[in-house]
Structure 1
Amino acid sequence: MPDDQSAIPARDAKRLFAGLAGAPALLLAVSGGPDSVALMWLAARWRRALAQGPRLVAVTVDHGLRPEAAREARDVKRLARSLELPHHTLRWTGPKPGTGVPAAARAARYRLLAQAARKHGATHILTAHTRDDQAETLLMRMLRGSGVAGLSAMARETERDGVLLTRPLLDISKAQLIATLQKARIGFADDPTNRDRTFMRPRLRALMQMLAAEGGDARNLARLAARIARANAALEVLVDGAEHYLALKSEDNSGTGFDAALFAVMPEEIRVRLLKRAIDRVGHEGPAELGKVETLLAAMDEALDGTLGKRESRLKQTLAGAVISIAAGRIRIGPAPPRRARSR
């Protein structure tokens, strides 16, 4: 790829969408900002160069949080029309939360995008996350004390609500995308919330300017996230093997029960992941939080410490809609009874 300040040439743009030519349709998430407008323009240029290729459908989500959003959606529609792309505006309706607005808006956006993808027969949703976004995500998760999986930051492709969420610009800087639009003389919107320091990401952007002076620029942070992702993938392979081994030894193919002695001698990271997998598999309250799984494992270790082969160790706890128990030398994990509604 060219340097961070130069436009993306057509020959390099083709590589951004490699592997997507066989899809029946692609949904482009376009807010109107420089990143997503560049995504739409690059994708349209790529599609025109193909003899046959996927249908492209541009979608803008209006969260109803800023009065300018409706005008920005109309601007995207005009640009999409000039690129011969269909465009649809999706609206997040209903009451908005008083706190946690960015997270709620993000959840609503992905829900609406997945619904639109299914409606238009799209197998992939393309978003315009950049290398800068990857670096910010890594910093956010570091500050929150995320584990190895969280520090992998954003993957190039993940499954969400039955649709593949794809980030083709993850190795590209925002500066490159702006340079590309400027060369093509294409305008874009400026969202003032991107500079509103009441939100965490804008504060991190200001912090990154100081980190860059010490070598912690977006390129190096994104490289770190990629290396952590590589380590995380290797750990997952080890966990697959450990899970298979425990199932063979215990003749339990459900993955919800372990021999306590075999489980106890495995490395802590493997045990945390095995435990979380089993809880997430049978629990009915969403994914278990890593910190709570670590606390549970410490309680299990305390229950098992010095008792294996000597006297019966027992434990029973619930987490994320699963019940975890130790009895008769086995760790068992099953669905917890539904919580009773509290009487007023």
Structure 2
Amino acid sequence: MAAPASTEPRPLGEPEAKALFFALAGEERLLAAVSGGPDSVALLALLAAWARDADGRPELHAATVDHGLRPAATAEAEAVGRLCRSLDVPHAVLHWQGAKPRTGLQEQARVARYALLAEQARALGAAVIVTAHTLDDQAETLLMRMARGSGPVGLAGMRARTTRNGVPLARPLLGVAKARLVATCAARGLAFASDPSNEDPRFSRVRWRKLMPLLAEEGLTAARLGLLASRLARAGQALEQRAASLLPALSTRGEDGLRLDFAGLCREPDEIVIRVLARALAAAQPAETVPGELRLERLEACALALAASVRAGQPMRRTLAGFVLLLSSEGVLALAREPPRRRGVHPAKE
């Protein structure tokens, strides 16, 4: 009679880590973001072993952000420093200076953390930031974005490779369950810290995390949510490629701004219409302008209203993202910058 299969999570071994870090092999240097928790401690140990294993591997550095929010944070950063010294990895502690916000603390701390890491990466000379985001983090992110009404782009979850603050950021452990990283720490005898904010129900991510076991009982496991995110990312890539190829084919740029053959565009499915309009708005922005966030609901409503006007053969005027959109009865959409408003004067009363 066969012995029952073990349900204990397996630690990550170095051959598996080598496969996970394959995409990083060509980088000159890496900056591991290490908070001192089990995920980032396991990442650091695995990266250090991998970087030593062969000539030509990236130069590895580590950094810990002390947000100045908990008295224990200083001791935790010092513990990471000791671990880095034992692994022969240079380590820096980065401090979030200044007054802290009373609301949106976690979000502002996250913004500050990435800004500090990006500054350190540039100081090291174009280092790639590497974070220890896991499959569990991906599942929580997907649920949070679903609750906020995100579209396909948001529901594709976190990307394995992206750019933050102008610096490349890699997440090689997105497909790895957190339990396996805890097991990796145990197998290597690595101590780690526990942040009490990870159990604070005031934070939405913590509330979603506590729901995960209940969802898993119904089959909505972290692995299945992660698979959904990867499938949506794959579908989104195909849609974006189609939208990218259509914009130059359907648009012209003149002295009065960008013009788009919206009637021709409306022969495409609605999702492509929406994505091409978003690309047109981005392309029409002046080079020196930093575009603001465009809410998906407004973009969808505008694109679908324009499409309905094309089918009816009716002109339309809309404003969106700082632009005046003028649709002619022939189905040509002109995008022009919205004129500056006089302070205190509503545009409808001018």
Q: Do Structure 1 and Structure 2 share a fold, with TM-score over 0.5? A: yes
Which residue of the partner structure matches residue 317 of structure 2? 315
Q: 1:306 to 1:124 in 2, by over 3 A?
A: same
The gaps in structure 1 that reach 5 residues or longer are none
In the TM superposition, residue 51 of structure 1 has moved relative to its aligned partner by 1.8
Which aligned pairs between 1:126-137 and structure 2 lie closer than 5 A?
Answer: 126-137=130-141
Question: How many Å separate the matches in 1 of 2:113 and 2:233?
Answer: 25
Q: Conserved in 1, the CA contact under 8 Å of 2:302 and 2:318?
A: no
Which aligned pairs between 1:243-258 and structure 2 lie closer than 5 A?
Answer: 243-247=247-251, 256-258=258-260
Question: How many Å separate the matches in 2 of 1:129 and 1:47?
Answer: 20
Question: How many Å separate the matches in 1 of 2:303 and 2:97?
Answer: 42
Q: Which of 25, 28, 39 does residue 24 from structure 1 map onto?
A: 28
Structure 2 residue 261 is the aligned partner of structure 1 residue 259: yes
Q: State, as a whole percentage, how many aligned pairs show the same letter.
A: 45
Q: Which of 293, 296, 301 does residue 290 from structure 1 map onto?
A: 296
Structure 2 residue 64 is the aligned partner of structure 1 residue 65: no
Q: 1:201 to 1:255 in 2, by over 3 A?
A: farther
Which residue of the partner structure matches residue 19 of structure 2? 15
Which residue of the partner structure matches residue 278 of structure 2? 276
In the TM superposition, residue 341 of structure 1 has moved relative to its aligned partner by 6.0
Structure 2 residue 54 is the aligned partner of structure 1 residue 50: yes
Question: How many Å separate the matches in 2 of 1:9 and 1:27?
Answer: 21
Which aligned pairs between 1:70-149 and structure 2 lie closer than 5 A?
Answer: 70-149=74-153
Q: CA RMSD in A?
A: 2.3
Q: Is the partner of 1:19 in helix, strand or coil? A: helix
Letter in 1 for 2:115: R
Q: 1:101 to 1:4 in 2, by over 3 A?
A: farther
Q: Which of 32, 41, 44 does residue 45 from structure 2 map onto?
A: 41
Letter in 1 for 2:319: Q
Letter in 2 for 1:100: G
In the TM superposition, residue 3 of structure 1 has moved relative to its aligned partner by 7.8
In the TM superposition, residue 251 of structure 1 has moved relative to its aligned partner by 7.7
Q: Conserved in 2, the CA contact under 8 Å of 1:279 and 1:288?
A: no
Question: How many Å separate the matches in 1 of 2:82 and 2:107?
Answer: 29
Question: How many Å separate the matches in 1 of 2:16 and 2:211?
Answer: 31
TM-score normalised by length of structure 2? 0.89
Q: 1:48 to 1:332 in 2, by over 3 A?
A: same
Which aligned pairs between 1:178-327 and structure 2 lie closer than 5 A?
Answer: 178-247=182-251, 256-283=258-285, 284=289, 285-307=291-313, 313-319=315-321, 321-327=322-328
- After TM superposition, the runs of 4+ consecutive aligned structure 1 residues lying more than 3 A away are 281-285, 301-305, 334-343
Q: Conserved in 2, the CA contact under 8 Å of 1:280 and 1:288?
A: no
Task: State the number of aligned residues.
Answer: 334
Q: Conserved in 1, the CA contact under 8 Å of 2:316 and 2:328?
A: yes
In the TM superposition, residue 163 of structure 1 has moved relative to its aligned partner by 1.8
The gaps in structure 2 that reach 5 residues or longer are 1-5, 346-350
- Superposed CA deviations along residues 291-322 of structure 1, whole A, max 9, x for unmatched, are 111122244245444125xxxx1304132x33
In the TM superposition, residue 61 of structure 1 has moved relative to its aligned partner by 1.0
Question: How many Å separate the matches in 1 of 2:60 and 2:137?
Answer: 24
Letter in 2 for 1:290: L
Letter in 2 for 1:279: L
Question: How many Å separate the matches in 1 of 2:186 and 2:294?
Answer: 45
Q: Conserved in 2, the CA contact under 8 Å of 1:28 and 1:127?
A: yes
In the TM superposition, residue 339 of structure 1 has moved relative to its aligned partner by 5.9
Q: Conserved in 1, the CA contact under 8 Å of 2:20 and 2:172?
A: yes
Question: How many Å separate the matches in 1 of 2:61 and 2:335?
Answer: 44
Q: Conserved in 2, the CA contact under 8 Å of 1:303 and 1:314?
A: yes
Q: Conserved in 2, the CA contact under 8 Å of 1:124 and 1:163?
A: yes
In the TM superposition, residue 113 of structure 1 has moved relative to its aligned partner by 1.0
In the TM superposition, residue 255 of structure 1 has moved relative to its aligned partner by 9.8
In the TM superposition, residue 53 of structure 1 has moved relative to its aligned partner by 1.9
Question: How many Å separate the matches in 2 of 1:76 and 1:4?
Answer: 27
In the TM superposition, residue 214 of structure 1 has moved relative to its aligned partner by 0.9
Letter in 2 for 1:241: S
Question: How many Å separate the matches in 1 of 2:173 and 2:116?
Answer: 21
- Superposed CA deviations along residues 52-74 of structure 1, whole A, max 9, x for unmatched, are 32111101111122221111111
Q: Which of 167, 174, 177 does residue 173 from structure 1 map onto?
A: 177
Question: How many Å separate the matches in 2 of 1:191 and 1:123?
Answer: 27
TM-score normalised by length of structure 1? 0.90
Question: How many Å separate the matches in 2 of 1:258 and 1:339?
Answer: 26
